[in-house]
Structure 1
């Protein structure tokens, strides 16, 4: 049962814009406002009905008649790593982790730029300047922090996460684009982190069946999809 959302929160629909995931599609977002009222309690309720966060912008897709964007959350209480996932965990078990606040860090920004240049060449994210980086990753009104992953002194990955009442939201992760498997390890680490905190859900954002870029999310079974106003469990792996 989704948590009640404060009546002080209002919602509006944006104008249409080019869809980031499906070619030749237009998109709209349903936005929760005002942003300063979206504290951790309110966001915990909103994320349970399919909302996500980008900076202080709280939204969910609202693209009639398209319903391709489907919220997905991993059931961390039932998750058990496959053989492939165990190999990934072993491969990166030497990485150290440190929790960091949302403050500017030159080293983080340099890694972010390298990641965007390799993974999103020519996109708006590839062209992100310092102010856009700060607005996207370092602005939050909820319980957010960064996790650094280092190989000795060398920064390898940074994960921005939101800790809500019922789980962890994987907001964004960027990493050394020359090291294969780091992205998968980042998700496995966050699943394990949920288990340590005894939080049942890892929210992985939106899954789009037609998008190859999103296919990796359903590898982390068991999971639930938010369909027609309720969370529906995936078939047993």
Structure 2
């Protein structure tokens, strides 16, 4: 008698949860409080925020997949070293791509692209998930956590550039005629381009998120 083995759908509810949970209930920045340094350093403008978000999404997703594929061959005693080598190789690749196709943004991000290697979100997902799961769930977990991280960066970068410089993606959004120097009523808020404002915006996001998500309040 033959036994029929049913495979789980690629986008089952369980797999989709790996993407959706890190965006809200398990967000790496607002819930787990990881990756705060990036939120401070690269979110003065929207463009570097988006580029950093895409870079981290790519690195964490690919690193999760590669680690999952190698999980049964990596000796336990050197797994951290192997994970660092995987992450570092991907970060170098991303850095070279940025220098080739987005050199100005690469200069704005400066050393912070290299610091993706030490981003505790990536190392945490490799250690906690990729080492114990198959490649497809590992890819979805990396994608979800990368998106959850990136969404916060983009939101912070959006408000800091708009209210601090009056631009978005370096394009003038608030008309020059609105400014006091031109007889208008508006002036950019210089506080938004300072690092403390990133923490304040993240704090506001956390407050909004917790007020709308009962599970986060119950878990406190």
User: Is the shorter-chain TM-score for this pair beyond 0.5, marking a shared fold?
Assistant: no
Query: Quick check: which one's helix share is greater?
Result: 2
Which is higher, the Rg of structure 1 or of structure 2?
2
